[in-house]
A = this chain, B = another copy of it.
Amino acid sequence: MDNSELRQRIVATADELYNSKGIQAVGMDELRTAAGVSLKRLYAEFPSKSSIVMAVLERRHQSWTEGLDATVQQAGTPQERLLAIFDYLAGWFCQDSFRGCGFINSFAELGAISPDVAEYARKHKESFQEYVGQLAKAAGAPAYLAPQLAILAEGAQTTAAIAGTPDAAGQARQAAEVLIDAALVTAQAGSAGSAG
Contacts and interface: CB of A to CB of B under 8 A. Distances in A.
Interface of A: 20-22, 24-25, 99-101, 103-113, 118, 121-122, 125-126, 144, 147-148, 150-159, 161-164, 167-168, 171-172, 174-175, 178-179, 182
Given A144-B174, A178-B179, A155 B151 contact: yes
A103 B172 CA distance: 21
Given A104-B104, A147-B171, A182-B182, A163 B22 contact: no
Contacts of A161: 107
Q: How many copies does the complex hold?
A: 2
For chain A, what secondary structure do more than half of its interface residues adopt (helix, strand, loop), or is it mixed?
helix
A124 to B, nearest CB: 8
**List of 3 A-B pairs having minimum Cβ-Cβ separation, nearest first:** A155-B155, A108-B108, A151-B155
A162 B101 CA distance: 12
Contacts of A154: 154-155, 158-159
Contact of A159 (B22, B99, B118, B150): B150
Contacts of A100: 107-108
